[in-house]
Amino acid sequence: MIELSLFFNLYNILSIKITALFYRFRFAMRTVLNFILFFLTLFLLSCSSSLDPDYHIEDSLERLPIETLNSAPKSLTVDGIELSLKSDLWRDFMPISPPDGKPLIARIELRAQDERALPEQLNADAVWVLYEDQVWGARLTETQFEHDSTRLVKVARNGPKFGPGENATVVVRIVYGDESYLLRNTGQDIMQTW
């Protein structure tokens, strides 16, 4: 009988100790797991593309914040001239092109609303194309229709392979003298040539 009583006492003492260790271990494990989950969440948030768009920017061009690009005006008056922006975006899928098409081309055209001649100092030097959660920025280096003083037509080539058949937003930087302005065109279709 004494042996049985001693056994039950030993059993009770061990079960209390094991239970205490279990609860202490469980609390420690919960703390460690919470710590791991917290840092994993921070890591995933830092990698999230919705917080930081994927930029494709030429080396010589600054990376403007997406908020700045999205808040650019859709109309602009410079030196008393109201400017209008027309933009074209396309990718070439002609038979000589790679199977997934050639890179994006952006063409912008600035005109005065009243069709008068543009000031000689007026220039467009950069373009940004906003597509989904990506931004392409490039210098406008190629000029077309140089002898037509009523419009300024510039082109940027070798962009990413956005679209086609999707909408994008085009933002152009206009330089006039020492001042620079942004002008935006939304809902621009990315076309394709066959």
Q: Among 189, 148, 174, 171, which residue's Cα sits nearest to residue 82? A: 174
Rounded to two decimals, what is the model's pTM?
0.71
Residue predicted with more confidence, 17 or 150: 150
Q: Please report, rounded to a whole number, the percentage of residues in the chain having pLDDT higher than 70.
A: 74
| Nearest residue to 171 (alpha-carbon basis) of 61, 48, 87 | 87
Q: Which of 110, 109, 75, 105 is nearest to 168 (CA)?
A: 105
Number of neighbours of residue 87 by Cβ within 10 angstroms: 21
- Taking alpha carbons only, the member of 129, 144, 125, 115 closest to residue 184 is 129
pLDDT digits (tens, 9 = 90+) for 42-73: 565 555 444 456 888 887 788 899 999 999 99
What gap in Å lies between CA 158 and CA 101, rounded to an integer? 11
| 135 pLDDT higher than 90 | yes
Distance CA 142, CA 139 (A): 9
Strands 151-156 and 179-193: unpaired
Q: What is the pLDDT of residue 98?
A: 87
pLDDT of 109: 96
What is the DSSP code (8-state) at residue 139?
E
CB-count exposure of residue 189 (10 Å: 0-12, 13-18, 19+): middle
Q: What is the helix, strand, coil percentage profile of the chain, to 5? A: 25, 40, 35
User: Of the given ranges (29-33, 43-47, 74-78), which has the lowest mean pLDDT?
Assistant: 43-47
* Whether the Cβ atoms of residue 108 and residue 85 lie closer than 8 Å to each other: yes
Q: What mean pLDDT do residues 100-110 have? A: 94
